[in-house]
Amino acid sequence: MEELDGEPTVTLIPGVNSKKNQMCFDWGPGEMLVCETSFNKKEKSEMVPSCPFIYIIRKDVDVYSQILRKLFNESHGIFLGLQRIDEELTGKSRKSQLVRVSKNYRSVIRACMEEMHQVAIAAKDPANGRQFSSQVSILSAMELIWNLCEILFIEVAPAGPLLLHLLDWVRLHVCEVDSLSADVLGSENPSKHDSFWNLPGNTQTLTELELKWQHWHEECERYLQDSTFATSPHLESLLKIMLGDEAALLEQKELLSNWYHFLVTRLLYSNPTVKPIDLHYYAQSSLDLFLGGESSPEPLDNILLAAFEFDIHQVIKECSIALSNWWFVAHLTDLLDHCKLLQSHNLYFGSNMREFLLLEYASGLFAHPSLWQLGVDYFDYCPELGRVSLELHIERIPLNTEQKALKVLRICEQRQMTEQVRSICKILAMKAVRNNRLGSALSWSIRAKDAAFATLVSDRFLRDYCERGCFSDLDLIDNLGPAMMLSDRLTFLGKYREFHRMYGEKRFADAASLLLSLMTSRIAPRSFWMTLLTDALPLLEQKQVIFSAEQTYELMRCLEDLTSRRPVHGESDTEQLQDDDIETTKVEMLRLALARNLARAIIREGSLEGS
């Protein structure tokens, strides 16, 4: 068991007196159910709990924020685009693509931030306004961290351009908070800046730049020592700042909003060609100097420091603790993994860090009634545990309309999850049968290619026919088409209906042979044979002979088969006796009709033509 990284927070449940009574709870996929029990701490368990509610506790409230939903949806698109980037791209083109993806993510965060800012300003309730504002600052911090990671890990800026990127980074973020100070400090000696860096088509090498800068630095130092500007203390302190003197810089502390602004300014004036690996010395000392022992570093400071130290795992770990939602770490880790920066770090259950974070994020999405569709794609790109997680989650999505069920089924079919398809179709088919929607039930069993269920539906139809004497839902049975082949019972149903149709059209010979084939081919269930034989009666009683002698023998054989194997019923109600009476009468009538038909058939077949 790992040690705790921080103290767990306590959440009070309204209405429950936790001092008096005990609570019980149960874990769900993303939530917890809590309610009060009637056990109280003094062991007397007769009292009724005072709080009648069951509470659902959600840790991740961000998923329910209207504005953050846009973040989830847009980043989902970017995530998919990233996964589909051609694996074979290497070198510069790959790097530029990855940088572009990173910038896309960041612009989505910024868009969200701006929208939330607008809502915060427009909020009528100050408590709401404060909540939105704190969300804005969280998003701002996220973008700050992401931007730094982009510069250090993805762009992998070498010495020289590194400082420029860092300058932009600070300018972008500090300018939001305090535009005035940045202008004062950032735009000093702009001409000197430009002439140095000469950015587009930089033909100077790093050494040349360093030499130029050294030259300029020494010149400034000479000015200072010669006390050229002694008459103006303001200009002198300006000179000291340009020499990168820390004390002078710190004097302007109010204009520097935070330690990383201080860091970059310091680097600009003392070591503009700083190499990435040297950054962390400056970072740590800048932090210490800026805080001056008055306050302790905040979580954001630790994260940035870890980034300057190129400790990616520490960055991710700290972010996971500080943020309440897995969105940030999941997407950032995935992107860094694509940059091939993460060593495979086996966690307790065998998957790597990227997969772990993506699984957590996607599971959180599945706990939301609507965002589960996004989660599906995230599971797709978790090679080890993604599929099995998806299988478990997708079966538990509540299906209140057929349209939603169709979407879920499509997801399962695209991934060849046949078990889930079957189980979902079975649930829907059962519901349909219970609601007497036999056509829907059949349509679901066809989709799942579930022969057993098709048999069940057919049995229902046949039962209805026996009870009512006519078919319900003729539109369905008459138009089964190839679906008839799904199950024997269904085929029988279709063919039986065809028999009725033929009889109605007076195609007696066809009807007769169909009826016979139904019985002899054994697709008719035994329970139905009596009905079939009874259906044969009117054909036997026709003026012309329909059944041939051969066919009549077959019918007789079926009848004998049926009567000889009649099971003996244990009960002896009068109803049962009456039933038996009816049965016996039927059998008698059949025997008579068969015999008569046989006689006529033999005579007809034995006679010569024309005589």
Partner 1 sequence: MEEIYAKFVSQKISKTRWRPLPPGSLQTAETFATGSWDNEENYVSLWSIGDFGNLDSDGGFEGDHQLLCDIKHHGDVMDLQFFDQERIVAASSTGCVTVFLHHPNNQTLSVNQQWTTAHYHTGPGSPSYSSAPCTGVVCNNPEIVTVGEDGRINLFRADHKEAVRTIDNADSSTLHAVTFLRTPEILTVNSIGQLKIWDFRQQGNEPSQILSLTGDRVPLHCVDRHPNQQHVVATGGQDGMLSIWDVRQGTMPVSLLKAHEAEMWEVHFHPSNPDHLFTCSEDGSLWHWNASTDVPEKSSLFHQGGRSSTFLSHSISNQANVHQSVISSWLSTDPAKDRIEITSLLPSRSLSVNSLDVLGPCLVCGTDAEAIYVTRHLFS
| Least CB distance to partner 1 at residue 490 (A) | 12
Of residues 419-448, which lie at the interface with partner 1 (CB under 8 A)? Answer: 435-440, 442-443, 446
Indicate whether 15 belongs to the interface with partner 1 (CB under 8 A).
Answer: no
Indicate whether 37 belongs to the interface with partner 1 (CB under 8 A).
Answer: no
Indicate whether 504 belongs to the interface with partner 1 (CB under 8 A).
Answer: no
Indicate whether 468 belongs to the interface with partner 1 (CB under 8 A).
Answer: no
Indicate whether 501 belongs to the interface with partner 1 (CB under 8 A).
Answer: no
Helix segments in 201-311, DSSP class H: 206-225, 233-242, 246-251, 259-270, 279-291, 299-308
| Minimum CB distance to partner 1 smaller for 77 or for 350 | 77
Indicate whether 416 belongs to the interface with partner 1 (CB under 8 A).
Answer: no
Indicate whether 59 belongs to the interface with partner 1 (CB under 8 A).
Answer: no
| Least CB distance to partner 1 at residue 121 (A) | 11
Indicate whether 73 belongs to the interface with partner 1 (CB under 8 A).
Answer: yes
With b for 16 or more beta-carbon neighbours within 10 A and e for fewer, the 480-517 pattern comes to beebbebbbbbbbbbbbbbbbebbeeeebeebbbbbbe
Could you give the CA distance from residue 188 to residue 74 in angstroms, rounded to a whole number?
39
Indicate whether 118 belongs to the interface with partner 1 (CB under 8 A).
Answer: yes
Member of 482, 504, 567, 570 binding partner 1 (CB under 8 A): 482
| Minimum CB distance to partner 1 smaller for 20 or for 410 | 410
Member of 87, 475, 575, 609 binding partner 1 (CB under 8 A): 475
| Minimum CB distance to partner 1 smaller for 63 or for 152 | 63
| Minimum CB distance to partner 1 smaller for 16 or for 68 | 68
Member of 188, 402, 459, 554 binding partner 1 (CB under 8 A): 402
Could you give the CA distance from residue 327 to residue 191 in angstroms, rounded to a whole number?
43
DSSP of 15-74, one letter per residue? T--TTTEEEEEEE-SSEEEEEEEEEETTS---SPPS---EEEEES--GGG-HHHHHHHHH
Member of 11, 93, 134, 479 binding partner 1 (CB under 8 A): 479
Distances (CA, A) of 279 to 46, 166, 210, 263, 546: 67, 11, 17, 9, 102
Member of 89, 321, 392, 406 binding partner 1 (CB under 8 A): 406
| Minimum CB distance to partner 1 smaller for 70 or for 165 | 70
Contact status, residue 409 vs residue 418, Cβ threshold 8 Å: no
| Minimum CB distance to partner 1 smaller for 53 or for 281 | 53
Interface characters, 361-390, with partner 1 (x: CB under 8 A): --------xx--xx----------------
| Least CB distance to partner 1 at residue 584 (A) | 37
Could you give the CA distance from residue 60 to residue 363 in angstroms, rounded to a whole number?
11
| Least CB distance to partner 1 at residue 372 (A) | 9
| Least CB distance to partner 1 at residue 77 (A) | 7
Member of 156, 483, 589, 602 binding partner 1 (CB under 8 A): 483
Contact status, residue 540 vs residue 593, Cβ threshold 8 Å: yes
Indicate whether 481 belongs to the interface with partner 1 (CB under 8 A).
Answer: yes
DSSP assignment letter at 14: T
Indicate whether 191 belongs to the interface with partner 1 (CB under 8 A).
Answer: no
Stretch that binds partner 1, among 28-36, 46-54, 298-306, 474-482 (CB under 8 A): 474-482
| Minimum CB distance to partner 1 smaller for 112 or for 144 | 112
Indicate whether 107 belongs to the interface with partner 1 (CB under 8 A).
Answer: no
Contacts of 83 (CB under 8 A, 6+ apart): 381
Could you give the CA distance from residue 97 to residue 106 in angstroms, rounded to a whole number?
14
Amino acid (one-letter) located at 392? L
Is the C-alpha dihedral spanning 304, 306, 311, 313 positive or negative?
negative
What element of type H or E holds 320? helix 312-322
Could you give the CA distance from residue 555 to residue 235 in angstroms, rounded to a whole number?
121
Indicate whether 31 belongs to the interface with partner 1 (CB under 8 A).
Answer: no
Indicate whether 97 belongs to the interface with partner 1 (CB under 8 A).
Answer: no
Could you give the CA distance from residue 510 to residue 512 in angstroms, rounded to a whole number?
5
Select from 59, 114, 67, 38 the least CA-distant residue to 360. 59
Long-range pairs of 80-84 with CB within 8 A, sequence gap ≥ 24 = 80/377, 82/334, 82/335, 82/338, 83/381
| Minimum CB distance to partner 1 smaller for 437 or for 500 | 437
Distances (CA, A) of 350 to 31, 354, 384: 25, 12, 8
Output phi, psi for 58, to 5 deg. Answer: -115, 135
Interface characters, 572-611, with partner 1 (x: CB under 8 A): ----------------------------------------
Contact status, residue 548 vs residue 601, Cβ threshold 8 Å: yes
Stretch that binds partner 1, among 234-242, 478-486, 494-502, 528-536 (CB under 8 A): 478-486
| Least CB distance to partner 1 at residue 128 (A) | 17
| Least CB distance to partner 1 at residue 487 (A) | 15
Could you give the CA distance from residue 414 to residue 406 in angstroms, rounded to a whole number?
12
Give the count of residues interacting with partner 1 (CB under 8 A). Answer: 41
What element of type H or E holds 273? none
Q: How many other CB atoms are there within 10 angstroms of residue 425's CB atom? A: 23
Indicate whether 403 belongs to the interface with partner 1 (CB under 8 A).
Answer: yes
| Minimum CB distance to partner 1 smaller for 111 or for 341 | 111
The residue ranges that bind partner 1 (CB under 8 A) are 66-67, 69-70, 73-74, 76-77, 81, 114, 118, 369-370, 373-374, 400-404, 406-407, 410, 435-440, 442-443, 446, 472-473, 475-476, 479-483
